[in-house]
Amino acid sequence: MEEKESLVKRVCSFYVSDWHLATMILPYLNKVIENNEKIKTILEKDIEENIKTLISKLNLKDEKKLLEINFKQNKILKYKDFVEFMKDEIEKNKEILLFINGRNEYIEIINKNINNWIRKNKKVLIKKNCKIKVLNCYEVTEFNSKMTEILDKHDLILNTSGEKQIEEVFEGYTKKAVND
């Protein structure tokens, strides 16, 4: 389990609207690009128009690279689709950010696919010293009652001020051990 944990860092975030998500995620993705990390998206909802509109109003260093990211809906619910989606990524990139948005059920399916893929590619990932960050952005209006369960499955939380320890954002929160 320790090897898997060193390969993967899980970050969660919550949003109340597509505009809220776009506003929060763009500065973060800009920073990821500056660090030369590969960004791959798995989106339950298309946010491309919101992103384009916001990019046109902001002064971001890597606007062109941000616009190259696929912000269209691209549901990848089957494992074989995820394998195809990740084909050659290990060979091309040392650091990969998987940006996922949607409802809790959708994100759970995608994360099962990610876990299976990591399990099957663990030796190669370790050999190539690859790091994968999974950013799960949850649409908050649908599942407020499951927020603690979601927090327990993640290492960090992303909000408008960047990545934070969950305890910094949710005072009194104590992480429970979770099995994958």
Residue 143: inside a domain, yes or no? yes
- CATH classification at residue 107: 3.40.50
Strands across the sheet containing 162-165: 38-43, 95-102, 131-139, 8-15, 156-159, 162-165
Q: Is 37 contained in some domain? A: yes
pLDDT in tens, 87-130: 888 888 889 999 999 998 999 999 999 999 999 999 999 998 99
Say if 176 falls within a structural domain: no
Q: How many domains does the chain have?
A: 1
* pLDDT tens per residue across span 18-40: 999 999 999 999 999 999 999 99
Residues 6+ apart with CB under 8 A from 23: 54, 160
User: Could you list the residue range(s) of the whole structural domain that residue 17 is in?
Assistant: 2-169
Greatest alpha-carbon pair distance for the chain in Å reads 44
> What are the pLDDT digits (tens) for 129-142?
999 999 999 988 65
Q: Quick check: 1 and 177 in contact, CB under 8 A?
A: no
pTM (predicted TM-score): 0.86
- Contact yes or no for 158/28 (Cβ under 8 A): yes
